[in-house]
Structure 1
Amino acid sequence: VTDFSAEKSLTVDTVPVHVDALAFWMIWDAEKAVLEVQDFEQAVILSAQTALRSSIGSNTLTSLLCERERLGTEIQKLVDAKTNPWGITIISVEFKEILVPKELEDALSRQAQAEREREARVILGSTEAEIADSFSKAAEVYKNDPTALQLRGMNMIYESIRNKGGLVLVPSSALNSMNLGTVLGAAAHGVKSGIIPDVIPAVVPGAAPDPKKGEN
């Protein structure tokens, strides 16, 4: 195993980086390793550094950070092609650390935050479009089916009070528009008989609810 690095190398998007890496290699022909080069270990290091700098210069910073495995494989093939005639095989190359200048760290952090916010806005917009489409379809159903609209109105009132219970004041105008009088009367009878829980709305004919009274 050999450590090697590339200092202050520029990526294709002109970001200076410092990269530390490891090369795993083996000698399969000791005679060639001794005779073909003067110092085979140093030759492996120099070849790996050259290939690493070449890889950095042909990739963006994002590629270096996100595609380490692919780049390591590319460097391994480049170095192995050079060392194989020396009786040496490069087994693998792995990135240990990629460092960027301190002044760029904040900029990269802000860029990542902006990208996350943009994605969140896109998702929110898509969700709102789906909700609006659902409302539009529901409106078409209610327009052609008044009974369904009345039942939906009753359900909305029930959902608003079922968790806490209590009393809800409903103006008589709401009864006229939603035709809830008959249904509420039947519900009141059910409460009196003990069939339905006491969570039905209270109706004040001809008057709007007083917000100061709140719920009981």
Structure 2
Amino acid sequence: MNKDYSQDLSEIRNLMNRSSRFLSLSGTSGIMAGIYAIIGAGIAKIFFFPTFPTQLDYQNTGYTHSQVLPIVIDLLLVLLLSVVTAYVLSVKEAKKNNEKIWDETAKRLVFHFLVPLLTGGAYILLKLNQGDFASAAALMLIFYGLALLNASKYTIGTIKYLGISEILIGLICACFPGYGFWFWTIGFGLLHIIYGSLMIIQQK
């Protein structure tokens, strides 16, 4: 009898967890986002950063808006590919689990993710317009991490660890603004690949 009660309680907890959390995220989408970021960084390195900038470069010569625009377009393409891939794979995962892709939980997840992300994006654009290019990479990592952390309560718990990692990388990047290229590649590339791989292992 006690065993039956325990099983019933476990099923109730699972139902409550599934109803309050978006569980159709795909680990593969995390890996793909990391790969896109590394490819984007490679393109930026070859065409826009033939030599890695140093802190002295930022402070003395800086970059013009015409030089920064192609980099921003490169980053936006990486973001677009990552979002489309995440959506397509999440739809596939939701169908496999007989779940709705766009329910109240998904709406809350997207809202809590986008508020800090769009706020950070607007702030970064303002800083770029003011000619402050050195802090862009650190700000991207920090606001992205905050967005993940803010949305983590509506999806699988491991997302918050990725968010915390992004924030820490961003803070370290802020201490070495001349090496933002490296930290951006680590944060958006390597960390996503590691996180996606761990997700796939956990789901097996």
Q: TM-score, normalised by structure 1?
A: 0.24
Higher radius of gyration, 1 or 2? 1
Structure richer in strand, relative to its length: 1
Q: TM-score, normalised by structure 2?
A: 0.25
Structure richer in helix, relative to its length: 2
